[in-house]
């Protein structure tokens, strides 16, 4: 039987009622006890590096999970991370950059209802995650949720309450887990050894443009962060009113890394289409996200700025595909 390590981090799946609403209380071992049939699927050990509502999960916690997997990598055939849904897409993206080229599956899952609540989706999701983690053809960082297997850099939480909370953005689902069987759509193959990274630059921000935004907002973000992801409109561009262009020019001159992306979830950006984008793209050293999710862009920028502050090297790392994160170059 395969040997799997469950890494508990809290979240709704492990929550119980309190006087002020749900809060994480159960350990990963207690989650496992709620579904004894899993013992027939694989051998399981449990660890609990922290227990948080995922609203409170930060880059430092991503590094704790990475370290837990790195220290146990040779002892287990796969890893399942029980996690809150609200920031699960960010954690999945971050782990995709912190643990690259893993021949072993690293599976995140959680639930929309606590495991002890009637009608919970927790038991199905945890069982599906373990089934996927035990399969010889499973590799790399994924989310398994409501039967969907989603690449770790392509996930987004689209629904706040329904069971099928996550969708795959600009990339097909890798597989489905149905009736304890895996139906694969995108074959995965890994050669070589896993590469672990143990440093991120967390001083990266994301700014969503709004019509008529006060230019002090962008000025503050540029002054505060080493890297900034700017979510623009449509296929991408920069408003011509105010001094946004000059602010980005100043940021680039000071060695800040700026990535332009779009607020539109699907089909990605293309700065070359309109003047408001092409002027920026052709005159300043800015990066463009294309079909990447904002979650992946933010985490990739943290990762690459943890490796280098040289723009040419950062550009090379940004446009190098990792775990299917970018296709349209």
Tell me the residue range of the domain where 301 lies.
204-318
Residue ending a domain, choose from 153, 177, 196 = 196
Q: Is-catalytic flag, 9?
A: no
Q: E strands, the chain, where? A: 3-8, 15-18, 21-24, 43-47, 78-82, 99-100, 105-109, 140-145, 148-151, 155-157, 166-168, 175-178, 181-184, 195-196, 204-208, 227-232, 257-262, 287-288
Residue ending a domain, choose from 168, 196, 224 = 196
On whether both 217 and 186 belong to a single domain, the answer is no
Q: What is the CATH number of the domain that holds 111?
A: 3.40.50.1170
**What does pTM read for this prediction?**
0.97
Q: Which of 12, 87, 127, 261 is catalytic?
A: 12
Q: In percent, how much of the chain has pLDDT > 70? A: 99
Q: What is the mean pLDDT of residues 293-316?
A: 97
On whether both 16 and 160 belong to a single domain, the answer is yes
Average pLDDT score, the chain: 96
CA–CA dist 139, 79 (Å, integer): 10
On whether both 153 and 253 belong to a single domain, the answer is no
- pLDDT tops 90 at residue 192: no
Q: Is residue 191 part of a domain?
A: yes
- pLDDT tops 70 at residue 329: no
| pLDDT tens track for 266-290 | 999 999 999 999 999 999 999 999 9
Whether the CB-CB separation of 55 and 84 falls below 8 Å is answered with yes
């Amino acid at each position: 039987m395969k040997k799997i390590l469950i890494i508990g981090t809290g979240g709704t799946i492990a929550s119980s009622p309190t006087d002020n609403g749900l809060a994480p209380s159960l350990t990963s071992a207690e989650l496992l006890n709620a579904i004894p049939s899993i013992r027939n699927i694989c051998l399981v050990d449990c660890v609990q590096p922290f227990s948080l509502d995922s609203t409170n999960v930060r880059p430092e916690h991503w590094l704790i999970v990475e370290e837990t997997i790195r220290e146990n990598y040779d002892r287990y055939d796969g890893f399942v991370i029980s996690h809150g849904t609200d920031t699960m897409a960010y954690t999945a993206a971050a782990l995709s950059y912190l643990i690259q080229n893993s021949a072993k599956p690293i599976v995140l899952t959680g639930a929309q209802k606590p495991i002890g609540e009637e009608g919970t989706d927790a038991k199905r999701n945890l069982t599906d995650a373990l089934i996927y983690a035990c399969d010889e053809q499973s590799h790399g960082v994924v989310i398994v949720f409501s039967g969907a297997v989603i690449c770790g850099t392509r996930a987004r939480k689209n629904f706040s309450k329904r069971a099928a909370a996550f969708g795959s953005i600009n990339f097909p689902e890798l597989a489905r887990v149905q009736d304890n069987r895996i139906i694969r759509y995108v074959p995965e193959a890994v050669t070589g050894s896993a590469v672990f990274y143990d440093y991120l630059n967390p001083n990266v921000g994301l700014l969503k443009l709004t019509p008529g935004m006060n230019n002090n907002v962008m000025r503050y973000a540029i002054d505060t962060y080493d890297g900034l992801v700017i979510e623009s409109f449509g296929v991408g561009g920069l408003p011509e009113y105010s001094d946004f262009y000059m602010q980005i020019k100043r940021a680039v001159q000071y060695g800040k890394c700026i990535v332009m992306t779009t607020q539109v979830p699907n089909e990605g950006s293309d700065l070359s289409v309109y003047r408001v984008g092409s002027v920026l793209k052709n005159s300043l050293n800015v990066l463009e996200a294309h079909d990447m999710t904002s979650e992946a862009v933010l985490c990739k920028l943290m990762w690459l700025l943890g490796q280098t502050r040289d723009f040419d090297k950062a550009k090379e790392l940004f446009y190098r595909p990792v775990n299917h994160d970018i296709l349209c170059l």
